[in-house]
């Protein structure tokens, strides 16, 4: 779960810096958002499956 929070934090930080200093164009920002959603979604699914297995 720490990895999910770190991923979200770094993604948001990068987007804020990108908007302020225009490091990369908007397309890269979109790809980074997709990456964050994939990582967080995958980790949340793993977490839910782990909790479900512990209940059984």
**What is the rounded CA–CA span in Å between residue 15 and residue 22?**
9
| pLDDT tens across the length of the chain (56 residues) | 677 778 778 878 887 887 777 777 777 778 878 888 888 888 888 888 888 887 76
Beta carbons of 7 and 36 less than 8 angstroms apart: yes
Domain with 25 in it: 2-55
Structure tokens at 24: 């990369």
Cβ partners under 8 Å of residue 50, min gap 6? none
Cβ partners under 8 Å of residue 35, min gap 6? 11
In this predicted structure, what is the pLDDT of residue 56? Answer: 67
Q: How many domains does the chain have?
A: 1
């Amino acid at each position: 779960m720490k990895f999910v929070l770190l991923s979200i934090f770094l993604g948001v930080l990068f987007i804020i810096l990108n908007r302020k200093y225009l490091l990369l164009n908007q397309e890269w920002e979109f790809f980074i958002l997709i990456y964050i959603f994939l990582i967080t979604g995958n980790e949340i699914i793993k977490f839910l499956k782990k909790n479900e297995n512990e209940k059984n």
